[in-house]
A and B are shown apart, each in its own frame.
Chain A
Amino acid sequence: MTKEKPEAWLPLTPAMFHILLALADKERHGYEIMREVDERTEGKMRVGPGTLYGSIKRMLNDGLIEELDERPDPDLDDERRRYYRLSDFGRRVAIAEAERLDKLVKSARSKKLLSARGT
């Protein structure tokens, strides 16, 4: 059973938001999620197996992500891997978190902590 309002989940933990971001454009298995986070953050955020699957367990329970019944490309992949994708509700939560962070960055900019170009 999921809470109706995405805002009820905010703020997300960094690991959860990064996992939702990794799943925003396509379904992925665990190792692919780890690599995507690692590459996107240039190695600054590294998600270990415990954090990854602990977060996945909670997000599955809360209906933020779903496990795929079939693998996207069975010919090219190990059949033991499990794939996950963003649920509609998970996408709304990710958008709400991104908007929250955007407001935060705008506040930082207004306080001259960031330049207009974001550097």
Chain B
Amino acid sequence: MNLSTRVYGLLLLAYPPEFRQEFGSQMLQVFRDSYRAEARSGSVPSFWLRTLLDLILTAAKERADRSGTKGIFMNRRSDTMVLLVAIGIIIIAVVIQRYAMRNNVAFILLFGYFLDALIVSGVIGNLIVFLLNKTTKLNPLRTAISVFAAVDAALLLLIVVLSSVAPVNWIGVLVGYLVSYVTWVGLHFAWRMPNRNQALNSQP
């Protein structure tokens, strides 16, 4: 089993357990067959992009179907606040990163991988999360957990591909992405908890 198939096998964890049990091995086999064909035609990156988009959208849908929930709706105020906080974190990270690079601040540059992951994953992940929250009735917290996992996995895969061009400090990259994932999911978790409690308390 090649690396791509192993990664896809891990990403299947985004689907609900029953769905995975029923169709997981079939999906993995279809992925393997498709990957072989795409590798022959040399279009692996676009294949991965399509596959990840398909995974994000369908995993979220299967989870929503399974829970039978209409999702916890974001109200406009909550939506705006979490968006502003996310933009604020990204801007602060960019400013710190530029300052450290311009002045060669070694202490901050130690966290360079984390800042890179925080910025790139934050921009792409939050954009997808907010689009999904605006256009679907999925649970926002579950959406954030799945989307950031998929985005980080895709970015790590891209780094694997690019590692043949430039050397990569794998420990730094992995720790950076892990901390970035915890930060973004933590932000969405912290923001959703009061809403969730309100929703639970309002049930008869």
* A6 lies within 8 A of chain B by Cβ: no
* A40 lies within 8 A of chain B by Cβ: no
**Chain B residue total in the interface (Cβ 8 A):** 22
Do A30 and B29 have beta carbons less than 8 Å apart?
yes
Instruction: Given A50-B58, A51-B54, check contact A30 B30 (CB 8 Å).
Output: yes
Q: Which residue of A lies closest to B22 (CB)?
A: A57
Within the assembled complex, what's the spacing in Å between the Cα atoms of A34 and B30? 9
In the complex, the number of residue pairs spanning A and B with C-beta atoms less than 8 Å apart equals 56
- The contact of A53 among B27, B33, B53, by CB within 8 Å, is B27
* B104 lies within 8 A of chain A by Cβ: no
* A5 lies within 8 A of chain B by Cβ: no
* A89 lies within 8 A of chain B by Cβ: no
* A26 lies within 8 A of chain B by Cβ: no
In this complex, the member of A48, A52, A56 whose beta carbon has the largest number of chain B beta carbons within 10 angstroms is A48
Q: Is the interface of B mostly helix, strand, loop or mixed?
A: helix
* A54 lies within 8 A of chain B by Cβ: yes
B128, chain A: closest CB distance, angstroms: 15
- The contact of B23 among A31, A46, A56, A81, by CB within 8 Å, is A56
* A82 lies within 8 A of chain B by Cβ: yes
- The contact of A34 among B23, B34, B57, B59, by CB within 8 Å, is B34
Do B54 and A30 have beta carbons less than 8 Å apart?
no
Q: Which residue of A lies closest to B37 (CB)?
A: A35
Do A50 and B34 have beta carbons less than 8 Å apart?
no
Do A52 and B30 have beta carbons less than 8 Å apart?
yes
Within the assembled complex, what's the spacing in Å between the Cα atoms of A81 and B25? 9
Please give, as numbers and ranges, the residues of chain B lying within 8 Å of A57 by CB-CB distance. Answer: 19, 22-23
* A80 lies within 8 A of chain B by Cβ: yes
Please give, as numbers and ranges, the residues of chain B lying within 8 Å of A11 by CB-CB distance. Answer: none
A-B contact pairs, 29 of them (CB 8 A): A30-B27, A30-B29, A31-B29, A31-B33, A31-B34, A48-B50, A48-B54, A48-B55, A48-B58, A49-B30, A49-B34, A49-B51, A49-B54, A50-B27, A50-B55, A50-B57, A50-B58, A51-B54, A51-B57, A53-B19, A53-B23, A54-B58, A54-B62, A56-B23, A57-B19, A57-B23, A78-B29, A81-B26, A82-B26
List the interface of chain B (C-beta within 8 A of A). 15, 19, 22-23, 25-27, 29-31, 33-34, 50-51, 53-55, 57-59, 61-62
List the interface of chain A (C-beta within 8 A of B). 30-31, 34, 46, 48-54, 56-57, 78, 80-82
Closest 3 CB pairs of A and B: A48-B54, A50-B58, A53-B23
